[in-house]
Amino acid sequence: MKPIKQATRIGATVTGADNMPEIREGQTVALLQELHILTRDGKMNQDSRRKLKQVYHLYQFIEPLLKEVLAEKESVSLVDHGAGKSYLGFIIYDLFFKALNDSSHIYGIETREELVARSQELAKQFNFPGMSFLPLSVAESTESKLLPDQIDVVTALHACNTATDDAIHFALKKKAKYMVLVPCCQAEVASVLKKNKGKSLARSALTEIWRHPIHTREFGSQITNVLRCLQLEAHGYQVNVTELVGWEHSMKNELIIATYKNLPRQRPSERLQEVLETLGLEEMGNRFFTQQVAKQ
């Protein structure tokens, strides 16, 4: 693989796709190097290629949503929960936000202060004024005065366990038009299934689905996302579920895209309650009924 000639110059961008097919036209090469996606001589290892493929694939879903917002408003706001090193936020900003001449903004939410500090440094280094990074948990960000009252797009890439639910709660409170979620490590429902397994087994033959520990874990993960989708529909969202990338790249592969359409809420709300009762998960009602659902 040939090194990219401009790679050592801050702010240099790729001007041709032949050098590195994975890198998009106009991408800031030096930024990818600072994120350790590219090496200093412009090369990419297999792990970096995998990460970049995931982020680019996710960007394909996010870009049309950003355009939809801008078709209706003068600017767009995006909050990236569990930002980590902010691969997603920086690449979205580099490919989309940096060309905008308005008040559009990306907020990265991350608990690890050293990662927040590093992201702040990079945003300053590459003159990305429309990026902010806050050392908060997802739950803390919901109440933080450092964020606007309304957010257009909420993303959460591999937010572990209940962090995805917190991101949903954040998006509902902020009246987000769109949510783009890739859940990870859903253990809470599985733990409740395990705890109640003894009394649940007598209910019906369906409880055989999660009788064995490995099935408890996998079914718990699956039903968690089913409950999340019903929760979103119970708040008027249209929900689409697909895979992020091929299973060879990541087992945490489910992509949930929710679009607020003000759809009827009563039926999904009733189905959500029925699923909780059928599986003996009534105690988790507060997790998935995050606010009063208006019946229509």
pLDDT tens, position by position, 104-149:
999 999 999 999 999 999 999 999 999 999 999 988 999 999 999 9
Q: Which pLDDT score is estimated for 245?
A: 64
Give the C-alpha distances (Å, rounded to integers) separating 210 from 62, 191, 223: 35, 11, 11
Burial of 95 (0-12, 13-18, 19+ CB in 10 A): buried
User: 294 to each of 185, 240, 276, 291, how far by Cα in Å?
Assistant: 31, 22, 19, 9
Bigger pLDDT: 198 vs 173: 173
Per-residue confidence (pLDDT) for residue 121, from 0 to 100: 97
pLDDT confidence tier of residue 11, bands split at 50, 70 and 90: very low
Given this model, what pLDDT does residue 238 score?
98
Per-residue pLDDT band at 3 (split at 50, 70, 90): very low
Confidence of residue 161 (pLDDT cuts 50, 70, 90): low
Question: Binning pLDDT at 50, 70 and 90, where does residue 252 land?
Answer: low
How far apart (Å, rounded) are the C-alpha atoms in residues 141 and 82?
11
Percent of the chain with pLDDT over 90: 55
Which of 123, 53, 140, 141 is closest to 86 using CA atoms? 123
CA 61/CA 223 separation, integer angstroms: 24
pLDDT at 52: 85
Residues of the chain with CATH 3.40.50.150: 46-288
Count of other CB atoms within 10 angstroms of residue 257: 18
**Confidence check: pLDDT of 18 > 60:** no
Please state whether the predicted TM-score (pTM) of the whole model is above 0.85.
yes
How does the average pLDDT of the chain come out, rounded?
85
* pLDDT for 249 beyond 80: no
Check pLDDT > 60 for residue 28. yes
Q: Which superfamily is assigned to 46-288 in CATH?
A: Vaccinia Virus protein VP39 (3.40.50.150)
1 pLDDT exceeds 60? no
pLDDT of residue 2: 37
Distance between CA atoms of residues 116 and 146, nearest Å: 15
- Give 24's pLDDT tier (boundaries 50, 70, 90): confident
pLDDT for 199 equals 66
